[in-house]
A and B are shown apart, each in its own frame.
Chain A
């Protein structure tokens, strides 16, 4: 990935066109809202917390709204990418790096040193930033705030205000608007309000749309116990969670591709598409990045699945009364299921066993091996000779905190807005494998219209070299595509269309495109098959 310095590293506005006066004022308003939070983080106690918290959030919101209005409503509808590579913030310039470092720092404190921003430990009262959010937390669930409440609130505010900005930016594009309204809705309702209210009613915290394995603690014993101790409703929630993994998600992914989740529902995706939108062009399009991606995301997937099975395995050991299986029955059930899956992939793709199918099959196979080893090398509470909670902790630290949080979001301004989704998310790996192997979704290429300009590839947040397909007249059927539709939006020649259609003929490959001599097209394109 090219991170070389260029003129955008200088602070003295090198941009051909800087911010307008209104935009400067709006940035100042937004920053003053953030300043209140920063002061609170440095343990300045505000006299009237509800007032200052409200003031802070309102200033941030108003600042963003004024900025967006001035940036987009003063112009005609259309693509608004002017100056993206001149602006320091969006081209890995000084502002970009500073933002990246600040965000990363914030995540490190949030995950590992919450006491520095005022998290009260051992039953002590909150102070500082977290105390500032106490009033809101009491309002919603009658409990003091925690670092996660602060984070959840800020996260939701970010998706809402930057979602507004995004909707204005794409006000000519209904696909973009609808999916943005959708992620705003799911974040506010499902990720934020409903779980908080449920806690207020003494039900377990549950974000219905946050599915395993993205939600890696779904099968942890405290989570399962939480459900099982909450009566029928708790049991229903557990059932819904399992149903969404094995029925709802495969069905929707078959019909619409992984986009139904990744760019319409998911919270990580929601933040990436809204607050992260200014950074989508920073993802690497190199072939080497793609190679790395396939290895890393499947590694995390195997890790996540094996870890989860280990957790369930030890849960069954500890709670035989709560389980319908014995340990070995459970292991054999899992192994049979995975083997069937593996065989299904092999049979289904026997004719075109390409890299993607191999990676998907490989991941399943590796998981089977992992599970068998697990069964063989585990005793009592020890799994692979280590306590199962240690395995959970390792995953939580390496993947849950470092990868998805610190790198995934902290590095937005350096590596692009979908680092986690692309290189780490095990959920994306599963949905992606299905999308590639068994889904109606594809991006259709419009005959011979592509002029190889490169807008689509540049603005693909998943680092897909869309142009390399479009200029060959080939449909784009990639496991990593989250269906954000930006490639289709920015294409100046109307070459790309996201659609759901028949399975057959979805993956086509052409050497000679529509428009040339028909005999020649037939001759060359059919030669290889």
Chain B
């Protein structure tokens, strides 16, 4: 029987396994060095905050794997031998495969900062990082201050985590405004204020120079670039993005770039070896997407797709319209289609912000044709299905603004803002006309 081995028990590997099992009787093994069972990485923060226990982050009960005949193996793969079609584990064990799916995810970026490997310095990606944080920042007596380096989605989650235990946080952000490489100015500014309202010491345009140690090799502070200011702290969180976790594949013969190079069928250069999820890098970007997409649902979709190919229905990876979501402390964020931080030359944006400073939207449309291109919403939930349809239908911006309430997904009885948004939009049209 064909043996399908999947390295990585994250969302992409597990989705692939589930779908292969639905369609076939092939033998399936999932390998992970991190945890015995699949858990949701996106929920790591809630464990530290006490909203959930680790077991709650596991989407399937432990009997699920046995019942579906998915074998689980805990171990660290140190080498892939494509000639003998075998995997070597760090403890010397070996395993043969017929088909290999590489779904090894990411690792936190470290940019060679002096002191980046000291005790008390950590990323926030793996379960082990969380255990580390629990050790160095159990409460605000052991950890009198934490410094977070890197203003992205994981950075702000880490800040929220630490604040839930009343630990003072200094948040170093390289950019002049939070996440403004992705968010348009108005949104980014609103989040800056929200971060400060949560008593987080947000330092914009600040870079890390060096992490300094005490006599025991544990972090005791950081030095800032430029000013040379020293901030005393007990924990440093490195959250300056992630990159594919591919070091152990270096000399395997599998084509690598930033990640594992794949074509639209998620095939690598080696027959019968596929790569999916965070670690896969498209030869050419799909649409306006990036070649490496480190988000949850693209991992899931690649898993869904590769399973079809492996089970005999060869199918291209064709993600639909871009969407995503996140939460910045108390403010939920959703995006559908494309709204660029610095508007492209063909793009016009309309921005509306509620007076309470926790809700806003930005809509993007084509300057000439008026085609609706995308929307960012903060503090208002929207319906994925509706926007997906509108994007497919290339709806006109006026249509979208008039029918915005159809897309509203807020809980019942919530105050509706569509009519104020529409009025404000119409006003802006008069001014530009």
| A residues adjacent to B (C-beta < 8 A) | 2, 16-17, 76-79, 81-87, 172-175, 178, 286-287, 444, 446-449, 451-455, 457-458, 467-468, 471, 485, 488-490, 492-494, 497-499, 511-520, 523-524
Contact = CB atoms under 8 A, between A and B. Distances in A.
A452 B320 contact: no
27 contacts: A2-B55, A78-B329, A83-B50, A84-B50, A85-B51, A175-B412, A447-B385, A448-B323, A451-B325, A452-B42, A452-B59, A453-B42, A453-B43, A458-B51, A493-B327, A498-B411, A513-B297, A514-B385, A515-B320, A517-B316, A517-B319, A520-B304, A520-B308, A520-B315, A523-B313, A524-B304, A524-B308
B95 interface: no
B29 to A, nearest CB: 22
Given A447-B384, A455-B43, A516 B411 contact: no
Given A515-B319, A518-B320, A449 B139 contact: no
B40 A453 contact: yes
Nearest to B388: A514
Interface of B: 11, 19, 22, 40, 42-43, 46, 49-53, 55-59, 61, 138-140, 164-166, 197-198, 296-297, 300-301, 304-305, 308, 313, 315-321, 323, 325-327, 329-330, 332, 334, 381-385, 388, 409-415
B368 to A, nearest CB: 28
B305 A517 contact: yes
B197 A458 contact: no
Closest 8 CB pairs of A and B: A447-B384, A78-B330, A494-B381, A517-B318, A453-B43, A83-B50, A174-B413, A451-B42
B332 A451 contact: no
Nearest to B356: A77
A16 B411 contact: no
A271 B7 CA distance: 49
B304 A516 contact: yes
A77 B22 contact: no
B412 A498 contact: yes
A50 B378 CA distance: 53
Nearest to A90: B50
Interface SS, A side: loop
B280 to A, nearest CB: 15
A500 B22 CA distance: 33
A455 B410 CA distance: 18
Given A17-B166, A174-B415, A454-B40, A515 B301 contact: yes
A515 B297 contact: yes
Contacts of B53: 85
Nearest to B327: A492
B58 to A, nearest CB: 8
A446 B381 contact: yes
Given A449-B384, A454-B40, A520-B305, A77 B330 contact: yes
Nearest to B48: A16
Contacts of B11: 452
B302 to A, nearest CB: 9
A140 to B, nearest CB: 34
B301 A516 contact: yes
A499 B409 CA distance: 10
Contacts of A518: 320
Contacts of A286: 61
A139 to B, nearest CB: 36
Contacts of A87: 50
Nearest to A82: B164
A84 B305 CA distance: 39
A447 B323 contact: yes
Nearest to A177: B413
A77 B315 CA distance: 46
A83 B49 contact: yes
A492 B332 contact: yes
Given A85-B53, A516-B319, A517-B316, A446 B383 contact: yes
A503 to B, nearest CB: 18
Nearest to B60: A468
Nearest to B385: A447
B405 to A, nearest CB: 14
Nearest to B49: A82
Contact of A514 (B61, B315, B384, B414): B384
Given A514-B388, A516-B305, A451 B415 contact: no
A450 to B, nearest CB: 8
A85 B50 contact: yes
A16 B139 contact: yes
A444 B49 CA distance: 28
Contacts of B297: 448-449, 451, 513, 515
A444 B385 CA distance: 11
Nearest to B336: A447
A490 B323 CA distance: 21
Nearest to B313: A523
B300 A513 contact: yes
B79 to A, nearest CB: 31
A86 B52 CA distance: 9
Contacts of A453: 40, 42-43, 46, 52, 57
